[in-house]
Amino acid sequence: MIRLSQINKSYLSGEGELHILRDVDLQVERGEFVSIMGSSGSGKSTLLNVLGILDSYDSGEYHLGGRLIKNLSEREAARYRNRFIGFVFQAFNLLSFKTAAENVALPLYYQGVPRKERDKRACAYLERVGLGSRATHLPSELSGGEKQRVAIARALITCPELILADEPTGALDTKTSYELMDLFQEVHRSGTTVVIVTHEPDIAERTERLIRMRDGRVAHESMQAAIERTPS
């Protein structure tokens, strides 16, 4: 699914060149449930941006679903993001003036799906994340957990091959976090590849595979049995 080989990425900053990613090699198979951990500055966010085609890289190769992702035009990048990747952010990043259903439907707008079809599918996905009754609510009327569920529904609506989540539980309390992880596991079981960036070990524990980043390198990889639904 994801194949990174010898990815390098550096920024120019005031103190000179900042080498963020150093020769990163990484493979994620289709349907895997992976977490990336690391302290801040370890390069995990940059890695996620590269994976999400939000950022470019200097050297190496990145294959997503067999396609080489390199030197894409903005338009192609937008299209790939739209078709193949679903994002979930720590800050939810819902549009505050749109209802839950409209937020969920937004990626389909950029695919040119007709409005009626969009609305229908948005409702179906809200149903799937357990928010069927909240379709017409604005984000400000939803709790944090609910917002993140809306964001997950939005990420899922295009049936992407890859879900990228950047600290998805960072703004939520433990109980809600676990409920959300249950939802991610469900998504994973349905066959979607899920990659989560987190700094919370208990969240990382709930994924199948853990990748630790340190100083821009993959420091450690470990397979772990995904913990099945914990009674809370």
> Which parts of this chain interact with another protein (CB under 8 A)?
49, 52, 54-55, 74-75, 78-79, 81-83, 87, 89-91, 93-95, 97-98, 106-107, 109-111, 114-115, 154, 158, 171
SS3 202: helix
Q: Residue 114 or residue 201: which is nearer to another protein going by CB? A: 114
Least Å from the CB of residue 66 to another protein = 20
Strands of the 85-89 sheet, one edge to the other: 85-89, 162-166, 193-197, 33-37, 209-214, 217-223
CA 76, CA 67: separation in Å to the nearest integer? 12
Contacts for 77-85 with beta carbons within 8 Å, 24 or more apart? 77/53, 78/110, 80/53, 81/52, 81/53, 81/54, 82/107, 82/110, 82/111, 82/158, 83/111, 83/158, 83/160, 84/160, 84/161, 84/162, 85/52, 85/53, 85/160, 85/161, 85/162, 85/163, 85/164
Number of other residues whose CB lies within 10 A of the CB of residue 141: 12
Q: Residue 8 or residue 82: which is nearer to another protein going by CB? A: 82
Q: Residue 99 or residue 185: which is nearer to another protein going by CB? A: 99
Least Å from the CB of residue 212 to another protein = 23
Least Å from the CB of residue 90 to another protein = 8
Number of other residues whose CB lies within 10 A of the CB of residue 66: 7
Least Å from the CB of residue 147 to another protein = 13
Least Å from the CB of residue 182 to another protein = 25
Q: Residue 120 or residue 208: which is nearer to another protein going by CB? A: 120
Q: Residue 17 or residue 74: which is nearer to another protein going by CB? A: 74
Measured in whole angstroms, the distance separating CA 73 from the mean position of its chain's CA atoms is 22
Identity (one letter) of the amino acid at 27?
Q
Least Å from the CB of residue 110 to another protein = 4
Q: Residue 73 or residue 232: which is nearer to another protein going by CB? A: 73
